Structure 1
Amino acid sequence: MSKNVLNAINIITNEQRDLNENEAYEALNDIMIGQAEDNEIAKLLTCLADKSESISEINGMVKVMQEQCLKVGHVDYPLLDTCGTGGAEIKTFNVSTAAAFVASSAGANVAKHGNRAMTSKSGSADFLEALGAKIDLNPNSVSQCIKQTGIGFMFAQSFHPAMKYVAHIRKSLGFRTIFNLLGPLTNPAQANCRILGTGSMELAEKMANALTKMNIRHGLVVTGAEGIDEISIMGETHIFEIKNNILNSYSIHPSDFGLKMHHIKKVESKSSNENAEIFRNILSGNGPLEYLDFICINAGAALYVTGHASSIAKGIELAKTVIENGDAAAKVAAFIDFTQKSISE
């Protein structure tokens, strides 16, 4: 039994207020060191989701996540992570992972953080395995992978061993919990350039506020108009931009960049194997235009936050170039080769 978790539940249900940072920190810390019962954890996660998580709760709990995760050794900055929260009504193709490869092939150093599917058909880990990569690299191997190939993948289940206390509970609950927000905010390599996506404008603003306290060089938190956790190719995307700890917001549209609008259902997620085959076809120049545009607009934003492009528009142009000239395909191949050799050694 955890006094701090029970106290947090009481505050939310009886006092009917948000937890402050310290209360949130103490509750999650108890959970992550194994002091809370399963029913207490499930109750707290449900209470938080029912009322919607506050900025103070997110800020307090992300500190625990960062303390408890395994750390990747020194890698060169600027360092990019592209990650969605999941839980969106429309499940789209693994565009954040695909965009990470494209951004890396254009010069960005990438420390991609991800997991298996929780609320979708294909998580980033599933997608990478379908491409042929090994995902269970240790922190040192991930560091070497980034240094040698420009991109590394940190499998959440390996880098967050304390999550063993909540993984089965999250699965049994079957809805988005605060961990869908904490995971993307917690990068074991402390990436200082971020593209984070969430399907809710309310949550996007909260995550953006959290990033302003995390020594981020440049970040975008995005919400597609269809409630997707990516930059949309169908309609407007609202963006919260964090630079020098200053928060601004604005909207973009595919037409701003000369891109054709595509119905979001055309890039709906399929199985991880099917998504991998679509990506291979894009890299070889034979994939559907809607997937190419979806990848390029998200990769363009990634290249903007790393400073490899002066704007999202310039980033889209660069993304198209590295796909067309084969650099992106070569990047994927180099990453897969490294991971396979690293695991076999």
Structure 2
Amino acid sequence: MVNELKNIEKISIENFQDDLISWFKAEQRELPWRKDQDPYKVWVSEIMLQQTRVDTVIPYFNRFIEWFPTINDLANANDEKVLKAWEGLGYYSRVRNLHSAVKEVNEKYNGKVPNTPKEISTLKGVGPYTAGAILSIAYGVPEPAVDGNVMRVLSRILSIWEDIAKPSTRKVFEIAVRQLISHDEPSEFNQALMELGALICTPTSPSCLLCPVRDHCQGFHEGVEKDLPVKSKKNSQRAVDLAAVIIKDNSGRFLIHKRPENGLLANLWEFPNVEMHQPFVLERTQIADLFHESFDLEIKLEKGIGQIEHIFSHLIWNIRVYTGTIRSAIQESGEWKFVTLAEMDEYAFPVSYHKIIKLYHDYNKK
């Protein structure tokens, strides 16, 4: 680790800070969470930006802040509305953790986001990166905020060859940022590193000729900028085959089911579905038997209307979609509802089930 950071000695830290921050002040994008330094808005934006592109996040952020403009508003909102506000962003554990942590801030800290590393790091879902981002951007505390962009940028600038896919490697970059960060302008410094990674020092084709800190970059001078960062490949995704059924009652309402409180897509709504371990050999009657075993539902599958694919970070869902009828009475509950298409807008569904709804509409247009 010591050897990896020796290249810091080759840099004029003050000049590096000046070049980086001056570029950021001149070239930064206009983003809604940059309009002020409200710690709550910074927090929401950083949670949304995890594993999600900036352009995708902007409309979700604007809607979320419109629905929940303050910590108190979010803390007092019901779970269903919070999930609905997040609908489509994915990684729903992020918003469940945010909601839980905001409640704690509202109760324990009188609605004020903590401004010390020790306190803020105790909040649910607030890891080292999020803590550093909030503290530096909103409060001007010189804490590192090391995400993938920052590790990519600094691996090139400092010619660091450790595998960034390993969690332990993050410490190397946190130490580097602590040595490089501007104590006068920590907010601008950390945001500038992130912005540089997003706009200039991109993953596959870095725009070195446009880079404001090219003169400080060891990777560029060594001609290895495209070989960095070192990142080992993740394990391949697991494929899961599912059968989903769209069931309507006599009044045209759709049967929907709420997922369990824990696990993947917890507490979101869906059309009834089952996993098929032998998807290409099962007859419809056999699939109906699976629904009986899983949900005690007596159904008849009718038409197969198509198939959709949905990709997660760790698995791929292949969902065959059927229409069907229910042969047994079912009591509505917290787990089962009959809803109209208009009423579906009140419930939070994962993206995969929006794809199913679209498939159903497209099929009926034929």
TM superposition score normalised by structure 1: 0.24
Kindly indicate which of the two structures has a greater share of residues assigned to helix: 1
- If you compute each CA radius of gyration, which structure gives the higher value, 1 or 2? 2
Q: Which protein has greater RCO, CA pairs closer than 8 Å, 6+ apart? A: 1
